[in-house]
Structure 1
Amino acid sequence: MADLYIKALESERKSLWATCRLKGLGRNTPERQRIAALDELIVAHKSRPAGEGKKNAAGEPEKKG
């Protein structure tokens, strides 16, 4: 099954990067800072074990049922 979370992060990063390239934005713009944050989220998500369960916004395992 496709990991929709990672696909969404990568899609947002790609879109922001294209905007930065098109507009010639510098390093300290909010868009470039968001790209850096997305890079960290992508690395963290890819490095976690595959068997680890989903977590909610508070970082706690989701409850089923």
Structure 2
Amino acid sequence: MADLYLKALESERKSLWAACRRKGLAKDTPERLRIAEIDKKLTEHKARKAGS
């Protein structure tokens, strides 16, 4: 079965990253901070999934 939470996080990250590259945003912008937060959630989710 597809992991919809994982797919949603990856999709949001990809979209935000594209916008940041297009706009040339610095590291301390809200969009870049959200990408870092998503990266953390992805890592936690994958670790939890691997542990199960």
TM-score range, shorter chain: over 0.9
Question: Which residue in the other structure is 1:4 paired with?
Answer: 4
Instruction: Please show how residues 44-59 of structure 1 align to structure 2 within 5 Å.
Output: 44-48=44-48, 49-50=51-52
- What's the % identity of the aligned pairs? 66
Aligned length: 50
Greater Rg, structure 1 or structure 2? 1
Q: Which ranges in structure 2 are unaligned for 5 or more consecutive residues?
A: none
Shift >2 Å, 4+ stretches = none
Structure 2 Cα separation of the partners of residues 43 and 21 of structure 1: 23
The Cα shift of 1:22 comes to 0.1
- The TM-score normalised by the length of structure 1 is 0.75
CA distance in 2, matches of 1:17, 1:35: 7
Where do residues 29-44 of structure 1 align in structure 2 (5 Å cutoff)?
29-44=29-44
Task: Return the alpha-carbon distance in structure 1 between the equivalents of residues 10 and 41 of structure 2.
Answer: 10
